[in-house]
Amino acid sequence: MSSSAGQNVEISIIIPAYESHGTARATLESLRAQTFHNFETILIDSGRTDGVARIAGDFPEVHYRRSEKQLLPHEARNVGIKLARADLIVFTDPDVVAAPDWLEKLTAAYRRRAGPLAGAVAGLEKDWLGSGIHLAKFDLWLPGGERATVPVAASVNFLCPVELLKRVGGFDGREMIGDTVLSWDLSELGQTLYFVPNAVVYHDHRSSLVELLRERYVRGGDFGRLRAERENWKFGRTLAILFASIVPLRLLKLTARTFRSAWKSRCTFDCLRTLPVIAAGHAAWLLGESTQYWRRLQRGRTQYEAKRACGW
């Protein structure tokens, strides 16, 4: 169980919630069962109903904060950062079940190598669709294998010193892929995102195939827009990436990446049997990216023609 309010804590766990009453109880129960105890849990709820509030009432050790307005997930995480008492922040979601030694493994890894850490994410569902959805979304952070680095830390299982969070200004609360943006910001500070494959949380997806494709399309579009803007892509590079995204080159690359990750995580059979779901998820992501790259090319063309018309 987490530390009481009067004690110093080593870790502050921040959880955003929005109508999460179907899964939040299991999440909080898994935190009660942690073998590491010196932590506090901060739950930021911006839901319309009192479902999460009633669940939080059964966990008096949880610091519950209700927002009067709906918050995007990373907005809620920024609120939690301001309330945190610890120097180390751990982010997770209200639809995960943490392994009992999750925090113990994360803190042990941090003591060996101080800096931002990305933990592993396993799938809670083992059926065909649930396994495919998980591999399509979380192949970068599957449990098992050797310690390595990752380009992005997913906010479902992410440890970061509060000092670094303050230096980069926290999450971009306007973006649904704010954890990707934060990872880019940390990398620009010279920070390496290390992966801890034995610090595991289990994600409860509860998604349909249509919901997966819609979510992957939107997130892919967000990624493409932000990446091109951040790196100030010119016409030639945008066109080249668009071409690689439309033809099967990048789809094959992403699918191969998932297969390699599944091999290291010893779930190759799950990868093979759910290959249609995985490929569909990656294809939807690339379609979202491609849409943004095409729009960028169109804007660039319009600006070029306007400059020519003005004689610039």
Token pair 């669940």 in the structure block, residue: 55
Q: What is the pTM of this model?
A: 0.94
Contact 292, 233 (CB under 8 A): no
CATH of the domain at 27: 3.90.550.10
The answer to whether residue 253 sits within a structural domain is yes
Q: Which helix (H) or strand (E) holds 193?
A: none
Q: Which of 207, 201, 211 is nearest to 127 (CA)?
A: 207
Report the pLDDT averaged over residues 276-291. Answer: 98
Report the pLDDT averaged over residues 212-220. Answer: 98
Q: At which of 206, 225, 240 does a domain end?
A: 206
**pLDDT the model gives residue 175:** 96
**pLDDT the model gives residue 180:** 98
Same domain (yes/no): 71, 142: yes
Say whether pLDDT at 7 is over 80: no
User: What's the CA angle centered on 27, arms 164 and 33, to 5 degrees?
Assistant: 95
Same domain (yes/no): 159, 228: no
**pLDDT the model gives residue 301:** 75
Same domain (yes/no): 131, 37: yes
**pLDDT the model gives residue 302:** 72
Q: How large a percentage of the chain has pLDDT more than 90? A: 91
Distance CA 270, CA 267 (A): 5
Work out how many domains the chain is built from and give that number: 2
Token pair 């987490």 in the structure block, residue: 2
Q: At which of 158, 173, 206 does a domain end?
A: 206
**pLDDT the model gives residue 146:** 78
Q: Which helix (H) or strand (E) holds 12?
A: strand 11-17
pLDDT digits 0-9 by tens, 229-249: 999 999 999 999 999 999 999
**What domain range includes position 154?**
11-206
Q: Which of 98, 48, 130 is nearest to 199 (CA)?
A: 98
Q: At which of 206, 224, 245 does a domain end?
A: 206
